[in-house]
Amino acid sequence: MKRNLKILILAGILFICLGMNLLIENASPPQPIEFKIPKGWPKPPTDIFVKNKLTEQGFQLGKKLFYDARLSKDGEISCASCHQYFAAFSTFEHDLSHGVNNSFTNRNAPALFNLAWKTSFHWDGGVNHIEVQALNPLLAPNEMGETLEGVLRKLKKDSSYRRLFKDAFVTEGISSQRMLKALAQFTGSLLSANSRYDKMKRGEIQFTAAEQKGYALYQLHCSGCHTEPLFTDESFRNNGIGLNRFKDVGRMDFTHLSSDSLKFKVPSLRNVQLSPPYMHDGSIGYITKVLEHYRTGIDTTSAILDPLLKKKIHLTDRQRDELLYFLFALTDTSFTKNKRFGPDEKYIFKH
Amino acid sequence: MKNKILFFMLIVTSSLSSIADGQQQMNIVFVNTADNKLIEHDSMYQNAWGEIYQIQKLKYYISEVKLGTALPGPEIYLINAFGNAGFTIPASTHTIDSISFLIGVDSLYHVSGAQEGSLDPLNDMYWAWNSGYVTFKLEGIAESSPAPLHKMEQHIGGFAGNQKTMRRIVLPLLNEPATYDTIFIEMNLDKYWQGIHHISIQQSPVLTLPGKEAVYAADNFSGMFSIKRVY
């Protein structure tokens, strides 16, 4: 009898242990999150979260990776060093950004938002998928300067990363694919759709008279390339910015077609107030100077200039200011102040 | 030298799995040669233009492998002349009249984001700034190369439109019941330099971009592969 009791107790303990084990195993399966498409917006051309299921754990892992400078060769540069949340994830007031070992990028770091709608990445469109984009900054000697082996070695050594990868992908293991997918869950989630313009569209507010006039001017002069509601048509165009000191020919680097010389991806105008300086090389410092460029700075006789700009844009000073008010109405401060996207701890920007 | 190749084949054969119970298997082994020699570190090779070179890296993708009329397998293999140069696939006992495969991988893989296994970018066969896999990668040193340090780099890639570098290879096998379980396929690098198009190290020492030159190089793939022997 006594023996039987012992066995019973042992069996009971075993049962509880097994049960606990199961509980722990299933403690928190990755929680799916829905990526909501703002009303009136087109569906993204391809759903980046079909094969890379968006989950809270994946997003949080991606965010940690994004803000972690240890991913770089010298431990100084994170994605967030160049993509600063308060500047809509561009490099604030830098034409070029700092990489490891006092290096510089040779292009201006674009703001990051609404990436799920992009059909290609980088100013020349050379990158075809959000997941593989991150290989560029990680490996470039003038960005994070690491090797893929090096990055993975560091992550595998860190027990908190080992846990976070398991939380996000259910099974144990850290791989390049998982790292890239997690990063894409974070960057692909950066949604900015709550500017005054969006509120006006949703009928929550009304534009001021100046904004309204600016909107009309935008529709007349700018919407052919900076198309609503993303404020880019994702095409490659020449808007009159010339060859810079890096001899950067833009799209032609990728297609090798001389007809693509000096064409660059049309950037979104959303949050443009927050992301100076402007253009692929940051060669225009202020938003007012950009408007001056369109108004008086373009050589309309240039053979490679985009046809849409061949006719000089006439703007009176007053109209220029109205257009400016409209551009400011594209600023989404709820995006840059969104705690979900910002750093968890106080983040120190070195540059 | 010929003996060395045979010896290599013998070693490989004995190390590969033979027929598993019930399920017939076929071992496919790539024998990488140049200048009638097995490709090895520190050896010197000469191409048809009298250029002498050493090989430090030689890797290429093989996919959609198909025996006779069977359906092609989904696996993608990275053949490494200095590493894993073979694989095993299921086979039927029916007469196999040919083996066919793709050098490179279907364009779908080039546009679908981060991949794993043989397509893991860790394998150093991925172009980050110009998304896409390299189909065929050869690196070494050649006296005749005008590039710094006499480097020779042939990274043949490109997957879209007229920049495609994937090529389908069909090699006939004897039309009789397959009593063998290993097919040795020779990859003869001599034909890379002297194929449909002529490529010299002096004229194109470094080729690391998709485009016309890469397509030319890929056109030579068809002549590089042949059945060496079945076993």
Rounded Cα gap, residues B169 and B225, in angstroms: 8
Q: Domain A56-192 carries which CATH code?
A: 1.10.760.10
Residues from chain A contacting residue B130 (CB–CB below 8 Å): 126-127, 254
Rounded Cα gap, residues B81 and B33, in angstroms: 9
Residues 33-72 of A with CB under 8 A from B: 48, 51-52
Does B211 contact chain A (CB < 8 Å)?
Answer: yes
Residues from chain B contacting residue A149 (CB–CB below 8 Å): 122
Rg (CA), chain A: 24
- CB-based contact B41:B197 (threshold 8 Å): no
Instruction: State the pLDDT at residue A48.
Output: 95
Instruction: State the pLDDT at residue B20.
Output: 45
Q: Do B113 and A130 touch (CB under 8 A)?
A: yes
Residues A241-272 pLDDT 10s: 999 999 999 999 888 899 999 999 999 999 99
* Nearest-Cα residue of chain B relative to residue A49: B113
CA–CA min distance A34, chain B (Å): 20
- Backbone phi and psi for residue B136, each to the nearest 5 degrees, phi listed first: -145, 130
- CB-based contact A119:B92 (threshold 8 Å): no
DSSP character for A297?
Answer: I
Q: Do B128 and A136 touch (CB under 8 A)?
A: yes
Mean pLDDT over A280-306 rounds to: 95
Residues from chain A contacting residue B126 (CB–CB below 8 Å): 132, 135
Q: How do B132-142 and B52-67 pair as beta strands?
A: antiparallel
Q: What is the DSSP string of B120-172?
A: -GGGS-EETTTTEEEEEEEEEEETT--SGGGEEEEEEE--SGGG---EEEEEE
Rounded Cα gap, residues A88 and A273, in angstroms: 9
Six token digits for residue B179: 């009593």
Rg (CA), chain B: 18
Domain topology for A196-331? Cytochrome Bc1 Complex; Chain D, domain 2 (1.10.760)
Could you tell me which residues come within 8 angstroms of residue A286 by beta carbon, excluding any fewer than 6 positions away? A276, A277
Residues 39-68 of B with CB under 8 A from A: none
Residue ranges of chain B with per-residue pLDDT less than 50:
18-21
Does A147 contact chain B (CB < 8 Å)?
Answer: no
Instruction: State the pLDDT at residue A28.
Output: 79
Does A139 contact chain B (CB < 8 Å)?
Answer: yes
Q: Do A176 and B120 touch (CB under 8 A)?
A: yes
Number of C-beta neighbours around residue A27 at 10 A? 8
- Count of pairs with CB atoms under 8 A, one residue in A, one in B: 60
- For residue A42, say if its preceding peptide bond is cis, omega within 30 degrees of 0: no
Question: What value of ipTM does the predicted structure carry?
Answer: 0.88
Domain boundaries along the sequence of chain B:
2-230
Rounded Cα gap, residues A196 and A328, in angstroms: 9
CA–CA min distance A284, chain B (Å): 25
**B131, B133, B207, B208, best to mutate vs chain A, most A CBs in 10 Å:** B131
Using alpha carbons, select from A206, A224, A314, A213 the residue that is nearest to residue A269: A224
Instruction: State the pLDDT at residue B21.
Output: 46
Six token digits for residue B196: 């449909």
CA dihedral A187, B113, B56, B7 (to 10 degrees): 140
Mean pLDDT over A194-200 rounds to: 98
CA–CA min distance A83, chain B (Å): 18
Rounded Cα gap, residues A168 and B15, in angstroms: 39
Instruction: State the pLDDT at residue B70.
Output: 87
The reply to whether domains A56-192 and A196-331 share a CATH topology is: yes
Question: Which residue type sits at A92?
Answer: F
Question: Which residue type sits at A244?
Answer: N
Does A251 contact chain B (CB < 8 Å)?
Answer: no
- CB-based contact A264:A226 (threshold 8 Å): no
Q: Do B111 and A129 touch (CB under 8 A)?
A: yes
Q: Do B131 and A129 touch (CB under 8 A)?
A: yes
Q: Do A128 and B131 touch (CB under 8 A)?
A: yes
DSSP, collapsed to helix, strand or coil, labels residue A14 as helix
- CB-based contact A129:B126 (threshold 8 Å): no
DSSP, collapsed to helix, strand or coil, labels residue A324 as helix
- CB-based contact A215:A280 (threshold 8 Å): no
What rounded mean pLDDT belongs to chain A? 92
- For residue A44, say if its preceding peptide bond is cis, omega within 30 degrees of 0: no
pTM for the full predicted model: 0.91
pLDDT reading at A41 higher than 60: yes
Does B132 contact chain A (CB < 8 Å)?
Answer: yes
Instruction: State the pLDDT at residue B91.
Output: 85
* Nearest-Cα residue of chain A relative to residue B110: A128
Mean pLDDT over A176-183 rounds to: 98
Residues from chain A contacting residue B132 (CB–CB below 8 Å): 128
Residues A43-99 pLDDT 10s: 999 999 999 999 999 999 999 999 999 999 999 999 999 999 999 999 988 999 999
Output A171 or A22, whichever has higher pLDDT.
Answer: A171
Output A18 or A127, whichever has higher pLDDT.
Answer: A127
Partner residue opposite A176 with nearest CB, options B110, B122, B129: B122
Instruction: State the pLDDT at residue A59.
Output: 98
Q: How do B182-188 and B25-34 pair as beta strands?
A: parallel
Rounded Cα gap, residues A210 and A320, in angstroms: 10
Domain boundaries along the sequence of chain A:
56-192, 196-331
Residues from chain B contacting residue A256 (CB–CB below 8 Å): 209, 211
- Total residue count of chain B as it appears in this document: 231
Partner residue opposite A175 with nearest CB, options B116, B128, B211: B116
Partner residue opposite B114 with nearest CB, options A122, A131, A254: A131
Q: For residue A30, with 0-12 CB atoms within 10 Å meaning exposed, 13-18 middle and 19 or more buried, which class applies? A: middle
User: How many Cα neighbours within 13 Å face the side chain of B136?
Assistant: 23
Instruction: State the pLDDT at residue A24.
Output: 52
Q: Do A177 and B115 touch (CB under 8 A)?
A: yes
